[in-house]
Structure 1
Amino acid sequence: MTGARTLLSTGDPNGIGPEIAVAAARAAGCAPVLVGDRAVVEWAVRVTGGTETVRGHRPGAAPEPGTLDLIDVGALPAGAHRPGTIDADAGRATLEYARTAIRAAIAGGYRAVVAAPHSETAVRAGGESFTGYPSLLAEVTGVPADRVFLLLVGGGLRIAHATLHQRLADAVAALDVDRIAAAGRALHRALGDLGVPGRIAVFGINPHAGEGGLFGDDDERVTAPAVARLRADGLPVDGPTGADVLLAANEHAGYVAAYHDQGHVPVKLLAGRTAVALSIGVGVPFCSVGHGTAFDLAGTGRADPAALVRALQTVDARREAVPA
């Protein structure tokens, strides 16, 4: 590891997040700074069979062998650590860890933020309005929520999502030319940051991208004008074309999906639980995993950190750290 370090938010303290965070910190080779609660992280070290010492992080401090650096948030009330339980206290702590990491990255000197999995049920039980890490990143940075997008990466695919956690009817209603075009621009920039620039393509909303209006006019009204706008701006973009046709050929560096399952299904089919999820459209590089909290595995020490390791390696490979 060279240069700035990555911040690793430990996720829902009652899920597998703390365990895979300490396991990934050992394996990833980039010495991340953990962000969470000391008691929970020390517990996770023991559960995973580790011997590391957990020390309070000092900005600019170099990593040391056998040591895990931690920004101790102190967000979880005493006695509230109940592995395997969906809990409001844990939901609130999850977001406070991530907010702390994002704010530290904004202040400067860190490469990126990576977050272990959250439980939307726990977060909402804690009274937070939350639809995923991209919405939290928008809240903390002040970027409009409809300009922060999830980019799912895995199985040789990179798919940005113009909408995310909404029922399908609401997702389609939320789509407009500006939103699709913004997702395309964010994807184009992200591919450059990841070192894989190339042509992108936009999936049609309806089967066969509407088949000339036979299956609805959404693509004629929304995706086609968005693609035309991106081309006018000089971006190398194709579409709208049916997702099945584009994915069967897989000749593009990245794709824009209209809604959650249109992008998630192909990536998870090919990558399984090793998929990683980047939040794009903002200045803070942010990455999480494509799987959930696995409450049934919490506390067993058997959770696989592979996806979190890949997330850390993905942001470590990006071109630039967040500037100081």
Structure 2
Amino acid sequence: MISQAVRIALPLGDPNGIGPEIALKTAAAYAGRPDVFLTLFGPQVVLQQTAQCLGLTDLLAATPVVFTAAMPTGTFQPGRVCAEAGSAMISAASSAITATRRGDFDAVVAGPHHETAVHLAGIPFSGYPSLVASVCGQPEDSVFLLLVGGGLHIVHATLHESVQHALDRLTSELVVQAALAGMRAMQRLGMNAPTIGLFGINPHAGENGLFGDADERITKPAAERLRAVGLQVDGPIGADTLLAERRHDLYVAMLHDQGHIPIKLLSPKQASALSIGADVILSSVGHGSAMDIAGQCIADARAMINTVARLAAVPVPT
């Protein structure tokens, strides 16, 4: 019998996207459960109007809520990308992260953001990992994304940036830190000694320099350093070969698409995206804010429902 509920802070994500809808649907899925305690973070008008659309006003009244910065009148418009929505997303997520650092919650599960909206607000942002790092007072490149879904766990050394920029800043140290953060996260998820598959940067991990020297300079030294501290590491090996074998617990991707494509192929709209490497665990969902269907109350909340279950280590609601 579970003696204490896992406390989850649940900021809405972009209020003009599907985040408010899937957050309320997730709260409904866990309502009355003794093992999970959810608290919503977001603007009051957004939650109230979304609850009315979904017929969940009674649920909202019974659910703990932290109302965050209000959106200016007329800017809550589902489907619209705007600075006010980006600012509201940052406010809610930052409040949830801060409360979790304070010990009020065990983890954060955040709704999907819209990066353009945040940039319109003039806020530096390259995804939830960078926000977690900022709120926790850490360097941006000390927090990484671990994508989970389809039976795969893939941590990313680089994330939302051009391929050229990612290649310019990839170092052995960055790869090592991503792998170590991924290993610690796997341990927190219950796997004490995960096996690690390290993706190469170039096809065939460079074919011993035939396809460029990036792997000779970066991934091979990183693998040697990781093995030297006792980790079970294979690679660098081409991502296609490693994934075809499916024999590792954790994979380390060098670039965004290396890690995102296989998981989204195997687990469409149901993956979890964990920000790891800080003293706060935050997970979002492996899909976007779906502006094309926002406000229609038809969004599928399974990714967020599954994400809560993964972080809380509890059964998924039926």
TM-score (norm 1): 0.92
What residue identity is the alignment partner of 1:17? G
- Following superposition, the deviation at residue 311 of structure 1 comes to 1.2
Q: RMSD of the alignment, in Å?
A: 1.3
- Which of 93, 96, 119 is matched with 1:98 structurally? 93
Deviations 1:246-300 (A, max 9, x none): 0001100010000000000000010011011000111101100111111121111
Aligned mates of 1:297, 1:196 — CA distance in 2: 38
- Following superposition, the deviation at residue 51 of structure 1 comes to 3.6
What residue identity is the alignment partner of 1:32? L
Contact 2:69–2:91, Cα closer than 8 Å, also in 1: no
What residue identity is the alignment partner of 1:291? H
What residue identity is the alignment partner of 1:25? A
Aligned mates of 1:243, 1:267 — CA distance in 2: 13
Aligned mates of 1:232, 1:48 — CA distance in 2: 54
Residue 276 (1) aligns with residue 282 (2)? no
SS at match of 2:89: helix
Deviations 1:148-193 (A, max 9, x none): 1000110111100000011111111111011000001001111111
What residue identity is the alignment partner of 2:178? A
- Which of 216, 226, 230 is matched with 2:226 structurally? 230
Identity over the aligned pairs, expressed in percent? Answer: 49
Mean CA deviation greater in 78-87 or 282-291? 78-87
- Which of 229, 236, 255 is matched with 1:259 structurally? 255
Contact 1:25–1:31, Cα closer than 8 Å, also in 2: no
Aligned mates of 2:124, 2:40 — CA distance in 1: 25
What residue identity is the alignment partner of 2:300? D
- Following superposition, the deviation at residue 82 of structure 1 comes to 0.9
Residue 45 (1) aligns with residue 47 (2)? no
What residue identity is the alignment partner of 1:317? A
- Following superposition, the deviation at residue 46 of structure 1 comes to 1.4
- Which of 9, 14, 17 is matched with 1:15 structurally? 17
Residue 140 (1) aligns with residue 132 (2)? no
SS at match of 2:198: strand
- Which of 240, 244, 252 is matched with 2:240 structurally? 244
Aligned mates of 1:74, 1:126 — CA distance in 2: 14
Contact 2:43–2:71, Cα closer than 8 Å, also in 1: yes
**1:126 counterpart residue number:** 121
Residue 89 (1) aligns with residue 106 (2)? no
Aligned mates of 1:154, 1:223 — CA distance in 2: 25
**2:37 counterpart residue number:** 31
Contact 1:120–1:130, Cα closer than 8 Å, also in 2: yes
Aligned mates of 2:59, 2:305 — CA distance in 1: 20
- Following superposition, the deviation at residue 50 of structure 1 comes to 1.6
SS at match of 1:152: strand
Aligned mates of 2:6, 2:245 — CA distance in 1: 38
**1:60 counterpart residue number:** none
Aligned mates of 2:288, 2:240 — CA distance in 1: 27
- Following superposition, the deviation at residue 53 of structure 1 comes to 4.8
Residue 183 (1) aligns with residue 161 (2)? no
Aligned mates of 1:37, 1:94 — CA distance in 2: 9
Aligned mates of 1:78, 1:53 — CA distance in 2: 25
Contact 1:4–1:109, Cα closer than 8 Å, also in 2: no
Structure 1: which 5+ residue stretches go unaligned? 56-66, 319-324
Structure 2: which 5+ residue stretches go unaligned? none
- Following superposition, the deviation at residue 310 of structure 1 comes to 1.1
TM-score (norm 2): 0.94
- Following superposition, the deviation at residue 74 of structure 1 comes to 2.6
